[in-house]
Homo-oligomer: A and B are copies of this chain.
């Protein structure tokens, strides 16, 4: 069966969106690429800084409230429906709770052919890239680098610490059938 969904899970500044864009360029068919950043942009501004929504602490720690979870659940169903309707979809995600995040997507994507990919990056390197980007609260990269992978099961792992996004994308593309 042809791969219908590619899930890229990794911490902030691990390089997921760069890999997603490279995948869109190297895969022969057109793929949609969306993820948690797309979801956040579609939410009301007020939910991006409240305890009912998304809360980013001064040290970069991220917590998520019940109103965020409700919208996220419907969003997840919708993205799965895009894949069922025939779109090939790359999902760029941060499983804040590790395995619990994966379970949410597994349930929604049930019956679809999914390639689960870990995007790893050494904490210190991701923190340096976070500094170079200049648009993220410092500390997010380091606090997420390990925790997002806790008890998550993958088909494939790539590591951007010493490997370019394009090379990682080519490795992933070889597993897309």
| Residues of chain A at the chain B interface (Cβ within 8 Å) | 15, 18-19, 21-22, 24-25, 30-34, 38, 41-47, 53, 67, 70-71, 73-75, 77-87, 125, 128-129, 131-134, 162, 164-167
Contact = CB atoms under 8 A, between A and B. Distances in A.
A24 B44 contact: yes
Q: How many copies does the complex hold?
A: 4
B32 A42 contact: yes
9 nearest A-B residue pairs (beta carbon): A78-B82, A81-B81, A74-B87, A18-B132, A128-B166, A77-B85, A24-B44, A74-B85, A132-B165
Q: Which of A77, A131, A165, A167 has the most CB of B within 10 A?
A: A131
Interface of A is mostly: helix
Contacts of A134: 21, 45
Given A18-B132, A71-B87, A74-B82, 7 more contacts: A21-B45, A24-B45, A38-B41, A74-B87, A77-B81, A128-B165, A132-B164
